[in-house]
Structure 1
Amino acid sequence: MPDRAWVRLPSGRRLDLLSPTPFDWTDADLATGLARTFRWGGHSAWPEPLSVAQHSLTVLALRRSRTRHRLTPVQELRELLHDADEGLINFDCISPLKPFLGEAFADLQARLSAAIATRYRLPSWTAEEKRAHKVVDVAAAAAEAVHVVGWTATEVRETLGIKAEVIAKDPLAVRYGDPPWRPWAPDVAAARFLEELTILQARV
């Protein structure tokens, strides 16, 4: 049999991981994949692990709150989808492992990211936009490390090498009425991500 590099998604569609097209998944497939893909290797001080879907919404909320000028809908969509490739491959690699995966894995991620950018008509980051994104992405990581995984602020700085201040306020807690920083169940994360994705696409 020929090598199989495609996966069957919940919708029944087939996603060829080595040669993806923008039509290989539904929005619900993506939301489900991100809700079932876990950050921090799936480790958590809570009963549940933290999903990439919840992280993506956190990054979007932080970016909205820290910009002097209101983001455009397409900028917000790009923030929401910044880790979307991880939901299609169902893998969020922890940083220390990435150098060992090599160029082939990086190429696979690039192909998925290109298909996502085409599907959702995402423009390339400008240097300024990329810097602003990285600031909130790193801030979210620092907060997750402490409030979700259980690292201390000192360990975040000295062991993980993350220099961002550890924020105390969960930017999603008030909106959704959940305990601050508690990871959501996958079905809840998928529904909330899909709702935001649908709203933003309607505005673009």
Structure 2
Amino acid sequence: MNIFSPTLAIVSQKGPTIMLASGKRFDLLDPSGSDFDIDDVAHGLAHVCRYAGQCRKFYSVAEHSILVSETVADFAYEALLHDAAEAFIGDITRPLKQLLPDYKAIEADIEEAINERFGLSKAAKPVIKEADLRVLAAEQMQVMAPECADWAVEAGIAPADITVRGLLPQQAKAEFLRRFSDLRP
């Protein structure tokens, strides 16, 4: 039974769902049972701005994911999809995430569904984490307020050799899908 609430603008099936740009529905409490594909992921990531939009120019999670993927020697496929859950739940800042334990559980379930759907290796996590931090340090120097990336110097993290281009959503989606096609096992 579908229940529509104009106040919440959600349709509930098994759990709260969101309508994807493709017309499919994504159930936040049953991500594995939801019908989604790489186009849905690419579209969502291309339209989500990093840093809660508080950067000097638009910078999508899709472009970030491409850069992390290009930074690693191994696990480039997994690196491309490391933030894929954000296609469905947005890019929540770390300080806010720490205040939302339910959010973190939902995110973990979505990540697991993505891992299963696309056959991602869990062994990739430490490699991707290091690359993600290096890209984070470099991108913050390029798109955030001055001194935002001082934490990286203090932590001894060498910024990745990347250039943030500020791709428009359509460009970011196309490049993300092209990289996915090149890397998919």
TM-score category (smaller protein): 0.7 to 0.9
1:190 alignment counterpart: 173
1:133 alignment counterpart: 128
Q: Which runs of 5+ in 1 are unaligned?
A: 65-70, 171-179
Q: How does 1:63-74 map to 2 (within 5 A)?
A: 63-64=72-73, 71=74
Structure 1 pair 6–161 and aligned structure 2 pair: CA distance change class (3 A)? farther
Shift in Å at residue 28 of structure 1? 1.2
| Structure 2 contact 47–60 (Cα < 8 Å) conserved | yes
* Whole-angstrom distance in 1 between the partners of 2:155 and 2:95: 13
Q: Deviations over 1:119-146 (max 9, x none)?
A: 1111222xxx433222211011111111
1:176 alignment counterpart: none
Q: How does 1:2-81 map to 2 (within 5 A)?
A: 4=12, 5-21=16-32, 24-46=35-57, 49-64=58-73, 71=74, 75-81=75-81
Higher strand share: 2
Shift in Å at residue 149 of structure 1? 1.5
| Structure 1 contact 22–118 (Cα < 8 Å) conserved | no
> Higher mean Cα deviation, 2-11 or 136-145?
2-11
Stretches of 4+ moved more than 6 A in 1? none
Shift in Å at residue 162 of structure 1? 5.3
Secondary structure of 1:183 counterpart: coil
* Whole-angstrom distance in 1 between the partners of 2:167 and 2:109: 29
Q: Deviations over 1:15-44 (max 9, x none)?
A: 111111265112111100001111111122
Q: Deviations over 1:58-95 (max 9, x none)?
A: 0011113xxxxxx3xxx221111011001122x11111
Matched, 1:146 2:138: no
Secondary structure of 2:32 counterpart: coil
Structure 1 pair 23–100 and aligned structure 2 pair: CA distance change class (3 A)? closer
Report the number of matched residues. Answer: 174
Matched, 1:122 2:129: no
Shift in Å at residue 151 of structure 1? 2.7
RMSD value, Cα = 2.2
* Whole-angstrom distance in 2 between the partners of 1:88 and 1:160: 33
Structure 1 pair 6–123 and aligned structure 2 pair: CA distance change class (3 A)? same
Shift in Å at residue 160 of structure 1? 9.9
* Whole-angstrom distance in 2 between the partners of 1:59 and 1:40: 16
Q: Which runs of 5+ in 2 are unaligned?
A: 5-10
